[in-house]
Amino acid sequence: MFKAKKIFSIILLLTMVISVLFPGISPAGSATGTTTSNSARLPVKMDTMFLKDQVILKLRGNNREQREFLKKNRLTVLKKDTRLNYILAGTTGGQDIPMLVKKLKTSPLVQNVQPNYIYKPFALPRDPMYFRQWALKKINAEQGWNITQGRKSVIIAVLDTGVDVNHPDLRNKLVPGTNTVNPLKSNRDDDGHGTHVAGIAAAVSNNEIGIAGVAGNCKIMPVKVFDYWGGSDISVADGIIWAADHGANVINMSFGTMANSTMLNEAIEYARKKGVIMVAAAGNWANQYISYPAALSQVIAVSATDKNDKLADFSSYGPEIDVCAPGEKIFSTYWDPHKGSTYGELSGTSMAAPQVAGLAALLISAKPWLTPDEVRQIIESSAKDLGEPGWDPQYGHGRIDIFKALTTSFDKIDVANNRQEDAQYIKSGRPVTQKLDYGADEDWYRISVPDRASLQFELLPAGKVTPAIEIYSEQGEMLNAFNSMEEAGDADTRFDAWGLFPKPDSNVKVGEAVYGIIGDLPAGDYFFRVFGNHNRWSQELYTLTAQILEKNELVPDMWERNDTLEDAKKVELGRKVSAAINPCGDEDWYKVYVMPGNIYKIDTEVPAGLDLAVEVIGEPPADGFAGDKGTEGDLWDNGQHADQIIDTGGQGKNETGTFKPYIEGAGYYYLRVYDKTNGAVNSPYTLQVTEYNPPKDRYEPNESEKDARPIELGSQVEANFSGAEDRDWYQFEVSKTGIVIFDWQAVTTLIPDITIYDEKMEPVSFLNYGSPDPFVSVPPDPAESQRFKVAPGKYYISIANYLGDITGDYKFTLTFDSFNFVDAEINDTYEKSVPIGLGETKTGTLYPMNDIDYYVLDIYEKGPVLIKIIPPQGLDTMVAVFREPEGRKREDIGNDKANEGKYDYPDLDYVVQINSGGGGSVDAGVFMASKPGRYYLAVNGWAEFPGKVPKGTYTLLVRSFKAVPDYWENNNTMQTAKPLGNNAVFSPTFMGTEDVDWFKIFIPASSQLTLKLEPPNDIDGVIELYDSAGRLITRVDQALVGEEELFTLPIKKSGIYFLKVYDYLGNASVLPYKMTVKYIVVGKKGKK
């Protein structure tokens, strides 16, 4: 298996040049959305994808009404689910799915409608290093196995890409499964991900082959919910229900989506009611948003850690995380399309989740009377605390500990007030403290309120755990909810220009207080229900204070009533408004008279407890706005787009921002002021709108490339955005090839949009200092230097405010580093390939990160060609070789801009990847030039230590290859086997394709033979052992490309034995492999 960085590199350069080699994976049918590469250290954009020709509906009415409704909307029934009463319907005529969903929602017959979301497995492949399972030691599995290794009656359902049913570590423990993607096909793995997950959870233990799973004696139910193209809401929900109906005790889901699907919710609830424990991977987004189904409260959400008990750099984290488990370089069973059953390493939260699923199976095996809630509580309470003391959003309750979990008992603490009828009376203004002792714990309080009074509360967190709180009337009606996670998907999605994205639960507080007011109440008793989001609990105390407020005690608000756009109150420029968000759900609307072309500034003063936001809206449509009140970042009111949202602070932080009206003449702009968390406090906020005239900097006017201001390299530029839409242009020149270092500093919190162009106005580099997109994390250091490579010439810099809502000052500095580039050519694209001939040597530099150097090689006679690259220390290099088909011209590259029918990129044929060495080691390999023609070499590299790219040079050698046999050659048959002695350590080479090496050794009776094969990174080694009669005794092939094969075998009879060593695919290598052969004679009683 190639290293992830190598896979990323080759895919990057291939997709830049020829998409046919590595086509983008899209679901069956076709998908709407975009794909991204998951760099191991960078936050990534999380795309919600869905099948573009399907919707899922739940309808009211009788069969006739439903048929008429489907016909009217041009929908065809593809599948009906009688368990959840859902219909999978196909669309016609290329209907836009987001708009169709929006339209269908307006029908009274529609109970729910949603796209058919696509799910993807979470795994990051890595190049394996050693044949070991470090994670089992980390989670204390060995001690736990002294108590139980599981029962055969306990079943773990692995919802994934299927399972390799022939794998020797899995085949004897599988129970019947299913394929919900295509029921007519088998549930066999066609990807490898599901087999890897299954092995982690429950591979056979103590069978003297392969690996050990966490719950080695438990059974595995393979439920294939993905094929090569992914899975959908239908396949995943079907898989959950099928597993629950067919006896699964535990369901593992190492996949996810960013969409909160109602159908998924109902399937999860269906399984929960059947007593199934569900575990899911948090996601590999490297940010604070958790994928579904892990984000659902019925599911144990698992983040991933590395060998040092730190959060893995790819792992998602957030308020839904329950526990963590190792997820980096996890060795397990694997299915490979070339080799079949094998083993390999993968990284991801996908690998962490099945360890937790395996632990759940062990607990059920040891204590079958435990309920799912009790199993979950034991897993969480026995975990080793990592990070901050107590629960935190990175590690949850901590890293699982199998032995401690199996020796922990669950003693449910019955608190007197855990039911509404047993609610504890509290007095106004008097704090009460309590603990949420376990996941399902909840505390009820009651207070008597006089007629027409208001009820205010403050809920202080228990450490990092901020509970949710609901308020009920005496009749049991819920009046309001605060800080609670949205479980149902339908109400929590929104449409935008890129498709249907979820609105993440970012308003759930972590370690912050919750405030609220409900007002004008009839006399009576009112109830507070305090509970943990996502079954959260804590050993620390929370504090609840409720206070009754008479009307005369409420902060006066002279601007009420102004709860809707129609009731917006006019505000004069310069006047400071003092008002209150009270009660909860209150929003205040204002209108201000503005002039086109002017810039206006909004300033607020926010009291403690409020998380204020100001929405700026232009002239409304004739029918007004039908906005959903109190939701975060509500950019879409009845499909109309607000101009912007001013929301840069947090709870208790002042908000400030600017806007520029887009109107033809003078008119009104509207301001919607609200609390993002639905909270309220009995304290005023202030709002002031003023005309804003930002100072012009000395570079103005520079609004276009024609007005770009020259700047000197090494000098600091100090400027400002004179308006929200201001864009500043600069230009600079360099006289030789080198690196330009860009250092950015913003005085305000603005996020810059920076693009570097060359003289032809072609983009050279996009500099990323964060993003306003809620699905993209801002880098930890926004002032981090960024580098890009330049050739001699003139360049332009375009800088704008990404958000377009903040004016302010900024600074940046450009410095130049000549870097001593040995390859002055900018050969970063195929059309700029540098010629190289057979027998030539080139030196080059791979800098900055993701730099690629391209060479073109003309071959005039067919034959083997040797490529050798010597990298600088700390750089892991590779060379990808492509061949240009006959009839293509190099000048065709990139020349279809005028729509002349020429190709955008050469339609190259991939030949081979030369990737035999590690960081700082030589990469060498031979490829067969099957016919004369033009070949391209793409040289890429990756730093061993992310962010620290070596500045040394590499040397590239290309020449014709002729194999020179070494001492170990001419041994390609049993008859020509080379003799070996005991403790033999030798290093032969596979000199050509299909090369085989034979060896022979005399082994005494009652011996233990050990064979060890350490291949170079481009060889997939196989060892076969034969007796003197030529009968095969055993075949050793448990690892993938570049991995070590290690094997021990008892030898009963003395005699000559033969070893056959070869590459699985018959490949050759210019680098030797290392072979170790030794035996130890043991006595009849097994003693040495």
Which pLDDT does position 982 carry in this prediction?
95
Residue 636 pLDDT exceeds 90: no
Burial degree of 1029 (CB within 10 A; 0-12, 13-18, 19+): exposed
How does pLDDT run across 537-547, given as a tens digit for each residue? 888 899 999 99
Specify the higher pLDDT residue, 414 or 827.
Answer: 827
Give yes or no for a contact between 256 and 292, defined as CB atoms under 8 angstroms apart. Answer: yes
With a CB cutoff of 8 Å and minimum separation 6, the contacts of 471 are 455, 457, 478, 479, 480, 481, 516, 518, 526, 527, 528, 529
CA atoms of 1060 and 776, how far apart (whole Å): 52
Cα gap 302→280, rounded to integer Å: 6
CB 508 within 8 Å of CB 319: yes
User: What interhelical angle do 262-273 and 233-245 show, nearest 10?
Assistant: 10
Query: Does 160 participate in catalysis according to the annotation?
Result: yes
Angle at 833 between CA 830 and CA 834, to 5 degrees: 170
Specify the range with the lowest mean pLDDT, choosing from 240-244, 281-285, 656-660, 680-684: 656-660
Q: Inform me whether the pLDDT recorded for 123 exceeds 70.
A: no
Tokens 């030039």, located at residue = 929
The yes-or-no verdict on residue 631 having pLDDT over 60 is no
The question of whether 1028 is a catalytic residue gets the answer no
Residue 649: both structure tokens together: 């602070």
The whole-angstrom separation of Cα 249 and Cα 271 is: 10
Q: Is the pLDDT of residue 127 over 50?
A: no
- Percent over 70 (pLDDT), the chain: 81
**If you write DSSP's letter for every residue of 965-1014 in order, what string do you get?**
--TT-S--SGGGPEE--TTEEE-----STT-EEEEEEEE-SSEEEEEEEE
In this prediction, what percent of the chain has a pLDDT beyond 90?
43
Mean pLDDT of the region 233-259: 93
Q: Are 57 and 89 spatial neighbours (Cβ–Cβ below 8 Å)? A: yes
Q: Is there a contact between 160 and 198 (Cβ–Cβ < 8 Å)? A: yes
> Which helix (H) or strand (E) segment is 251 a member of?
strand 250-253
**Mean pLDDT for the stretch of residues 490-511:** 43
Residue type, 878: M
Q: Which spans in 50-145 are helix H?
A: 63-72, 97-105, 134-138, 141-145
- The predicted pLDDT at position 777 comes to 33
What average pLDDT does this structure show over 994-1009? 93
- Please report, for residues 7, 645, 754, the alpha-carbon distance to residue 809 in angstroms, rounded to integers and kept in the order given: 42, 20, 15
Angle subtended by helix axes 372-381 and 349-366, to nearest 10: 120
3-class DSSP state of 764: strand
- For 213, the 3-state DSSP assignment is coil
Predicted pLDDT of residue 1059: 97
- Banded pLDDT at 17 (limits 50, 70, 90): very low
Q: What DSSP string describes 333-383?
A: EEEETTTEEEEEEEESHHHHHHHHHHHHHHHHHH-TT--HHHHHHHHHHTS
Cα atoms in the 13 Å half-sphere on the side-chain side of 548:
18
Per-residue b or e along 861-877, where b marks 16 or more CB atoms closer than 10 Å to that residue's CB: eeeebbbbbbbbebbbb
Cα 1081–chain centre separation: 52
pLDDT at 763 exceeding the cut of 70 = yes
Catalytic residue among 160, 441, 995, 1063: 160
Gap between the Cα atoms of 1087 and 175, Å rounded: 41
The least confident of 58-67, 295-304, 804-813, 921-930 is 804-813
The pLDDT of residue 681 is above 90: yes
Which residue out of 167, 193, 196, 534 is catalytically annotated? 193
pLDDT band at 473 (very low <50, low <70, confident <90, very high): very high
Three-state secondary-structure class, residue 403 = helix
806 close to 657: Cβ distance less than 8 angstroms = yes
- Residue range 24-30: average pLDDT? 26
CA distances from 907 to 20, 625, 861, 878 (A): 8, 52, 22, 21
Q: How buried is 839 (Cβ within 10 angstroms: 0-12 exposed, 13-18 middle, 19+ buried)?
A: exposed
Q: In the structure encoding, which two tokens stand for residue 254, read together? A: 């190492």
- Provide φ and ψ at 988, rounded to 5°: -80, 180
pLDDT of 867 over the 80 cut: yes
pLDDT at 34 over 70: no
Cα distance between residue 49 and residue 425, in whole Å = 49
Concerning whether 921 is annotated as a catalytic residue, the answer is no
Burial of 566 (C-beta count, 10 Å sphere; 0-12/13-18/19+): exposed
Query: Could you report the per-residue pLDDT of 364-420, keeping only the tens digit for each?
Result: 999 999 999 999 999 999 999 999 999 999 999 999 999 999 998 877 666 678 888
- In contact, 403 and 147? CB cutoff 8 Å: yes
Beta bridge partners of 1055: 1003
Q: Dihedral sign for Cα 485, 491, 496, 501, please.
A: positive
Q: What domains appear along the chain, each with residue ranges and CATH number? A: 4-118 (3.30.70.80), 120-406 (3.40.50.200), 420-552 (2.60.120.380), 565-691 (2.60.120.380), 705-817 (2.60.120.380), 830-960 (2.60.120.380), 974-1081 (2.60.120.380)
Between CA 613 and CA 627 the distance in angstroms is: 15
Determine which of 296-310, 838-852, 894-908, 989-1003 has the lowest per-residue pLDDT on average. 894-908
Confidence band for 525, pLDDT divided at 50, 70 and 90:
very high
- Range with the poorest average pLDDT among 246-255, 330-339, 524-533: 330-339
Q: Confirm if 437 and 373 have CB atoms less than 8 A apart.
A: no
- Could you give the CA distance from residue 1088 to residue 1083 in angstroms, rounded to a whole number? 6
How do beta strands 612-617 and 1032-1036 pair?
unpaired
Residue 201 confidence (pLDDT) above 90: yes
Higher pLDDT, 965 or 536: 536
Given pLDDT bands bounded at 50, 70 and 90, which one contains residue 208? confident
- Whether residue 334 contacts residue 411, with contact meaning beta carbons closer than 8 Å, is answered with no
Distance (Å, rounded) from C-alpha 921 to C-alpha 127?
A: 15
Q: In what order do the strands lie in the sheet with 738-746?
A: 716-721, 808-817, 738-746, 786-790
pLDDT value for 686:
97
Q: Is the pLDDT of residue 980 over 90?
A: yes
Which one of the listed residues 232, 254, 341, 350 is annotated catalytic?
350
pLDDT the model gives residue 1007:
94
pLDDT band at 534 (very low <50, low <70, confident <90, very high): confident
Sort strands 86-90 and 178-179 into parallel, antiparallel or unpaired: unpaired
Q: Over 90: is that where the pLDDT of 712 sits?
A: yes
The average pLDDT across 307-316 equals 92
Instruction: Dump pLDDT digits (tens) for 812-826.
Output: 999 988 766 666 567
Place of tokens 């199934």: 276
Q: What is the CA radius of gyration of the chain?
A: 33
Q: What is the H or E stretch that residue 236 is in?
A: helix 233-245
| Per-position DSSP letters for 877-903, written without gaps between them | EEEEEEEPPTT--GGGTT--TT--S--
Residue 922 pLDDT class (50, 70, 90 cuts):
confident
Residue spans of alpha helices (H) in 698-765: none
Mean predicted lDDT score pLDDT of the chain: 81
Residue with tokens 């899209």, as numbered in its chain: 26
Q: Is 143 left (phi over 0), alpha (psi -120 to 50) or beta?
A: alpha
**For 429-433, 819-823, 842-846, which range has the lowest pLDDT when averaged over its residues?**
819-823
Q: Hunting for tokens 């993807």 — which residue is that? A: 120
E strand or H helix that includes residue 270: helix 262-273
Query: Any idea which residue has 């809620």 for tokens?
Result: 774
pLDDT digit string (tens) for 570-627?
Answer: 999 999 999 999 998 899 999 999 998 888 999 999 999 899 999 998 875 554 444 4
Closest to 377 measured CA to CA, from 277, 296, 310: 277
- Whether residue 998 has pLDDT greater than 70: yes
Bridge pairing between strands 323-326 and 299-305: parallel
Residue 997 has pLDDT above 80, yes or no: yes
Q: Closest Cα partner for 938 from 863, 1032, 1007, 844?
A: 844
pLDDT band at 943 (very low <50, low <70, confident <90, very high): low
DSSP for 505-569, please give it.
-TTS-BS--EEEEEEEEPSEEEEEEEE-GGG---SSPEEEEEEEE-GGGSPP-TT-S--SGGGPE
pLDDT of residue 911: 83
- pLDDT score of 239: 96
- Closest among 394, 254, 378, 388 to 319, alpha carbons compared: 394
Cα distance between residue 743 and residue 716, in whole Å: 9
The answer on pLDDT for 352 being more than 60 is yes
Which has more confidence, 637 or 1082? Answer: 1082
Yes or no: say if 950 and 873 are a contact pair by the CB < 8 Å rule.
Answer: yes
Least-confidence region, from 187-201, 612-626, 843-857: 612-626
Distance between CA atoms of 309 and 115, rounded to whole angstroms? 39
Q: Give the per-residue pLDDT at 45.
A: 38
Average pLDDT over residues 854-882: 88
How confident is the model at residue 779, as a pLDDT?
35
